[in-house]
Structure 1
């Protein structure tokens, strides 16, 4: 079991248990039930793409990680003993309504009540739909940013490192920061109104994800900062998605592309006017 926290497991009195693969509003409900000396036991079974590759960005309490393989064959007694050995003061467990564990997922909430106080968080729905990682990813793939953000309880974000682009933007169109992004679940190709954090400052921006159909055909992630022209001091940029503007499409002439970019910028300004 691995932990990124300097807090000793011996201090933990309550523990939220789950995959925490999105830190969405259902996960946030679990976290609200934690004690002052509470932590998170993240069961690692995820494979890319991720909604939140770094859970520490959204969870303030200590996170302890355990690979599913270490516990998937355990019964209720073995799993409870495992927890007591690693968290001697553990008294309360917080789980979701559908929590299952052990061989063939044969054990559940009632099996743990003989060993711990168990707090169960009911199913969380948005618009009548249960909140789950895959539903959020489905919204992202459809460009449904408002719906994805509603389930997350925050704006969806990705982080990437600045790379060299084609150089066309700054010369012919508008300057952009070109990013290499790994492991994240990426929204549908197209243009978005976004907020981009560079060097700790958040700028209104318009961002593009997709294949550059009007030039080299390569996949790109680019963001243009509105009303700002900077030379970043650090190489990492965080983009948070506010709303979808339009589909990705091919332009037969550079002038047509430039005109569309200006319309995208104005639409982004309108959507970001409340920020």
Structure 2
């Protein structure tokens, strides 16, 4: 997959099959659209193109909104690279770009820049200034500019439509199993291991403190999770706490991972932590001794889960 960082840098003399969207999460609904795009493009000797935007439009148009995204742009790119796409175009979204009318977008972007032969979009897709464009207008413009349009209906799991919004809500509510089922892969947090207060080591549970750089990255509900991470090519399991450490008077939210049977120096390394199972809510204990006892129970529960599910 070739990554292009602007529609103005994209050149294809060959006709293309295109899909457009934010694709936050690259969830199973997104994956179905992309699989269809890639397979049809190959079958018709065309190039497959996915056009997405960064920053997210809401970051630009609603700056007062504290948006939280399932993926960083780097994570989204890595997920899309696995799909077989020929091209990923990440176009910088701006207020100026948002003012393109639906007709301008179709003519100037889809036709003149992307050389679109077929557009495949998800259910209820809107585009152009004030999101005025819809499937009816696309169908009308496609006849004018000689390309075809196909809309894929909403994808369901147990009759519940999959959406990035529902996945975000599931993660915020601690419904990790639901979120991971919708995503089709484990939700993850990626960050650098930084110095902490080293309290975990003093109570027999040394932790790696993870600093997630991107302020827009969604941090799931506070609590304790079963996790895995590949470190120097080896898959390592552990448990992670997201929270304020109320038992030891923590003053800000931290993300701390205790790996089982692993004690190498991880400072300044970048780790990708995959969340497998939500163990429990964060609690305040009456003493550090009670906290230690609970952590022992958490470790046993986590290892039981891993032995039955991995």
Map of 2:52 onto structure 1: 42
Contact 1:245 1:268 in 2 (8 A): yes
TM-superposed deviation, 1:76 = 4.2
Distance 1:20 1:265 in 2: 35
1:16 corresponds to: 19
Instruction: Determine if contact 1:123/1:130 at 8 Å carries over to the other structure.
Output: yes
CA–CA distance in structure 1, aligned partners of residues 222 and 237 of structure 2: 20
How far is the alpha carbon of 1:192 from its aligned partner?
0.6
1:123-142 counterparts in 2 under 5 A?
123-142=154-173
The secondary structure found in structure 1 opposite 2:165 is helix
- Provide the residue aligned with 2:245 in structure 1: 212
Q: TM-score, normalised by structure 2?
A: 0.81
Aligned residue in 1 for 2:4: 3
Cα 1:59/1:158, change in 2 over 3 Å: same
- Does 1:79 pair with 2:105? yes
- CA–CA separation in structure 2 for the residues paired with 1:93 and 1:266: 51
Which consecutive segments of 4 or more residues in structure 1 shift more than 4 A? none
- Decide whether the 8 Å contact of 2:102 with 2:132 is kept in 1: no
CA positional deviation for 1:172: 1.9
- State the shift of 1:139 in Å: 0.6
Higher percent of residues as helix: 2
**RMSD across aligned positions (CA):** 2.2
| Contact 1:179/1:222, CA 8 A, preserved across alignment | yes
Unaligned runs of 5+ in 1: none
2: CA distance, partners of 1:59 / 1:27? 10
State the 1:256 CA deviation: 1.1
**Counterpart secondary structure, 2:246:** coil
Q: Does 1:147 align with 2:178?
A: yes
- How far 1:271 sits from its partner (Å)? 1.4
| Equivalent pair of 2:224/2:240 in contact (CA under 8 Å) | yes
The runs of 5 or more residues in structure 2 that have no matched partner are 60-66
What secondary structure, in the 3-state scheme, does the structure 2 residue paired with 1:208 have? strand
Q: Distance in 1 between matches of 2:33 and 2:170?
A: 23
Cα shift at 1:119: 2.2
- 2:187 pairs with 1:160: no
Report how many residues are paired.
272
**What is the TM-score with the length of structure 1 in the denominator?**
0.91
In the other structure, the counterpart of 2:218 is 185
8 Å Cα contact 2:68/2:218 also seen in 1:
yes
